[in-house]
Amino acid sequence: MRNNDFKDIVFNRHSIKSFDANYKIPREEMLEILQEATQAPSSVNLQPWRFVVVESDEGKEKLRPLVKFNTRQNDTSSAMILIFGDMKCYEKADEIYSEAVRRGYMPQEIKERAMGFFLPAYKSFSRQKMNDVVKIDSSLMAMQLQFVARAHGYDTNVIGGFEEDIIAKEFGLDPERYVPVMIIAIGKADYEYHESVRLDVKDISKFV
């Protein structure tokens, strides 16, 4: 990491839509960024996020018609990180909780009690409810990803406008299982950001 200044990383973050097209983030660093991003919290630690990192010319070519008015980010970013939510994330519960027991973070009986409690609930969720869970958790992680990227010297843009109905299939994922959440363009910024305004929180909050 190149920057450890919290205020600079967080409050000087801006949506960057054009990047140095000649710069590629090394694979090892990209994996570090993703590993650091996924320290984010998730509901009962099921970590429903899954990644397709589109960085090759062929990958970008395939993605271009799917990103609507966001082709500049596609064409200039180091990578377009496609974030999907795994509607069957609970299939990794035993792997996650067993590792926690193995490392001594959790006693075996707590693992069994927890899984006995949340697994039936997760399996009974409607598609709508599971959609909400995986999108909320993946979005928490996505904000952490953006900050970690800045700590590494990169900038990002969250992209919500893309062909949601076909992107999973186009990249070889089962669209019933993997729901697209967002795309994050990442790379070295090649222009100055635009300032933007925020609502006064007093106008959007009430205290009870």
Q: Does 2 bind a second copy (CB under 8 A)?
A: no
Residue with tokens 């992209």: 159
Q: Helices marked H in 38-105 — which ranges?
A: 57-63, 71-76, 93-102
Question: Binding mask 13-52 vs a second copy (x if CB under 8 A, - otherwise)?
Answer: x-x-----------x--xx--xxx-xxxx-x-x-x-xxxx
Rg (CA), the chain: 19
When asked if residue 113 is in the footprint of a second copy (CB under 8 A), the reply is no
**Contacting a second copy (CB under 8 A), which of 26, 109, 124, 208?**
208
**Which residues, 6+ apart, have CB-to-CB distance to 150 below 8 Å?**
3, 9, 12, 13, 156
How far is it between the farthest Cα atoms of the chain?
A: 54
- Of 56, 91, 107, 112, the residue at the interface with a second copy (CB under 8 A) is 56
Please, are residues 13 and 147 in contact by the beta-carbon 8 Å criterion?
A: yes
Residue choice 3, 22, 71, 108 for contact with a second copy (CB under 8 A): 3
Q: What is the C-alpha separation between 20 and 187, in angstroms, rounded? A: 7
* Residues 81 to 110 in contact with a second copy, rule: CB under 8 A: 92, 95-96, 99-100, 103, 105-106
CB of 4 to a second copy, least distance (A): 5
Which parts of 125-144 interact with a second copy (CB under 8 A)? 128, 131-133, 135-137, 139-144
Looking at the Cβ atoms of 58 and 109, the one nearer to a second copy is: 58
Rounded to whole angstroms, how far apart are CA atoms 175 and 194?
36
> Considering the rule CB under 8 A, would residue 7 count as an interface residue with a second copy?
yes
In this complex, which beta carbon is closest to a second copy, that of residue 14 or of residue 190? 14
Task: Report yes or no: 17 and 128 within 8 Å, Cβ to Cβ.
Answer: no
Per CB under 8 A, does 54 bind a second copy? yes
Three-state secondary-structure class, residue 176? coil
**CB contact at 8 A, 49 and 137:** yes
Q: Which is nearer to a second copy, 21 or 96 (CB)?
A: 96
Kindly state whether residue 124 participates in binding a second copy, applying the rule CB under 8 A: no
